[in-house]
Amino acid sequence: MGITRLVAILALLFVGLATPNFADAQEGYGKQKVVYHINYVGGPESKAYKGAMRNIQNHINAVGAENLDLKVVLHGNGLGVLMNAKTDEALQTRVASLKGQNVSFHVCNNTLKGRKISYENDLYDVWEQDIVPSGVAELAHLQQLGYTYIKP
């Protein structure tokens, strides 16, 4: 075997070892419990909120919905996600799609009361069972239960 051929074979082996195998990576993630925390303003055209929803979808795509127990906790300005979704069809579609993949949205009752927000009238697709007493207490509780905290 010539030296050129040997070098070519070694190079191919190296490239094969160095190239990530995305199927293996997906299987390697295993089951995950994750809580996303949103408490900020979405900005013009809800850009930050749409970015957060995109991050969540990318997470689902990488790990697989069947491998995720994913919750989104909204408090303070974060309720803007569901307020803006009432009139922003693109944001509404993203929220609905995530909910269809078993993502649950937890809404802070302290914020609802403090800002006089009606979850039935002012927020997109929120039900009584989505309301938690306190967004920050919910975050702490979920972390105690082993959820990984992410702030997109």
Residue 20 lies in a domain: no
Residue 7 lies in a domain: no
Residue 72 lies in a domain: yes
Q: Are 76 and 108 in contact (CB under 8 A)?
A: yes
Residue 26: per-residue pLDDT: 47
* Average pLDDT in the chain: 88
Q: Is the pLDDT of residue 27 over 70?
A: no
Give percent above pLDDT 90 in the chain: 82
Structural domain including 61 reads 31-150
Q: Are 17 and 9 in contact (CB under 8 A)?
A: no
Residue 1: per-residue pLDDT: 52
CA dihedral sign of residues 79, 118, 147, 145: positive
Residue 44 lies in a domain: yes
Q: Are 114 and 75 in contact (CB under 8 A)?
A: no
- Please give the residue that has the higher pLDDT: either 11 or 53: 53
Residue 39 lies in a domain: yes
Residue 28: per-residue pLDDT: 76
Q: Phi and psi for 42 in degrees, rounded to 5?
A: -80, -20
**Residue entry with tokens 């905290």:** 149
CA–CA dist 20, 23 (Å, integer)? 9
Residue 13: per-residue pLDDT: 44
Residue 3: per-residue pLDDT: 61
Residue 125 lies in a domain: yes
pTM above 0.85, yes or no: no
Residue 53 lies in a domain: yes
CA–CA dist 81, 40 (Å, integer)? 9
Number of domains in the chain: 1
